[in-house]
């Protein structure tokens, strides 16, 4: 009886669980805009403009990918975009060289 009632909601909940990390990170970037920009500028010494562009790409890339996955529109392209965001963040935040963080 329980499965019959919840069967129509489970795919939406599953998709939300799968993209929850990207959704949280995108929302956090919105609220911590200046901290993210200052960190990228301080790490790469690229100036506020390029650091802001990086944060914008991350913010809109993650949130638009999440919206597309949840709405079931262009899911394959959205997943490729989210994978690209992961690759971009791995390089930009120097995660590749932090073995403990990378394994986690």
7 three-state secondary structure: coil
65 three-state secondary structure: helix
CA-nearest of 43, 76, 83 to 61 is: 83
Give the span between the Cα atoms of 80 and 40, in whole angstroms.
24
Query: What ranges do the domains of the chain cover?
Result: 1-103
Per-residue pLDDT, 97? 77
pLDDT digits (tens, 9 = 90+) for 45-89: 989 999 999 999 999 999 999 999 999 899 999 999 999 999 998
Taking the alpha carbons at both ends of the chain, their separation in whole angstroms is: 38
pTM (2 decimals)?
Answer: 0.81
Give the span between the Cα atoms of 45 and 48, in whole angstroms.
9
The dihedral built from the CA positions of residue 18, 35, 85 and 69, taken in this order, carries a sign that is: positive
């Amino acid at each position: 009886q329980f499965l019959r009632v919840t069967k129509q909601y489970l795919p939406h909940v599953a998709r939300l669980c799968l993209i929850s990390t990207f959704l949280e990170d995108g929302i956090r970037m919105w609220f911590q805009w200046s901290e993210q920009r200052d960190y990228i500028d301080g790490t790469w010494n690229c100036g506020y403009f390029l650091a802001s562009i990086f944060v914008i790409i991350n913010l809109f890339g993650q949130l638009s990918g999440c919206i597309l996955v949840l709405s079931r529109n262009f899911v394959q392209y959205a997943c490729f975009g989210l994978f690209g965001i992961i690759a971009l963040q791995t390089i930009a935040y120097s995660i590749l060289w932090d073995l403990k963080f990378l394994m986690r």
